[in-house]
């Protein structure tokens, strides 16, 4: 847990195809800043990992705690390219989407 930064980049969910508008990363300043394509992150990295959560009806999964039913979306990660510290719209799915049961 803790602080993170938001990445405002629409990405297609690999599970259902719906568009997820933003994701979160801990690879930048972790000060609750929202970044968009073209913003200078001042990061020395060539890429960062960004976690997205798809909350579409197709991706929502039930889970039970103490007899109560709750719902959560499915997670997936992207590797987002940086060019001289600036966010680009170039990304790839970083790894196979995690299956959550």
The answer as to whether 63 is a domain residue is yes
Residue numbers of the domain that contains 40: 5-93
pLDDT at 84 exceeding the cut of 70: yes
The answer as to whether 57 is a domain residue is yes
Q: pLDDT tens across 1-54, in order?
A: 579 999 999 999 999 999 999 999 999 999 999 999 999 999 999 999 999 999
How much is the pLDDT for 96? 58
Lowest-pLDDT range, 20-29, 41-50, 57-66, 91-100?
91-100
pTM, full prediction: 0.84
The answer as to whether 98 is a domain residue is no
Q: Are 54 and 78 in contact (CB under 8 A)?
A: no
Domain tally, the chain: 1
The answer as to whether 14 is a domain residue is yes
The answer as to whether 15 is a domain residue is yes
Place of tokens 């790894």: 95
Q: Taking residues 65-88, report their average pLDDT.
A: 93
How much is the pLDDT for 58? 93
The answer as to whether 101 is a domain residue is no
């Amino acid at each position: 847990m803790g602080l993170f930064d938001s990445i405002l980049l629409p990405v297609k969910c690999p599970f259902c195809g719906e568009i997820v508008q933003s994701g979160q990363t801990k690879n930048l300043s972790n000060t609750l800043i929202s970044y968009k394509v073209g913003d200078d992150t001042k990061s020395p990295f060539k890429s960062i990992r960004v976690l997205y959560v798809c909350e579409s009806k197709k991706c929502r999964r039930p889970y039970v705690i103490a007899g109560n039913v709750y719902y959560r979306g499915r997670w997936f990660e992207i590797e987002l390219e940086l060019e001289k510290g600036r966010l680009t719209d170039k990304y790839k799915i970083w790894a196979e989407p995690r299956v959550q049961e």
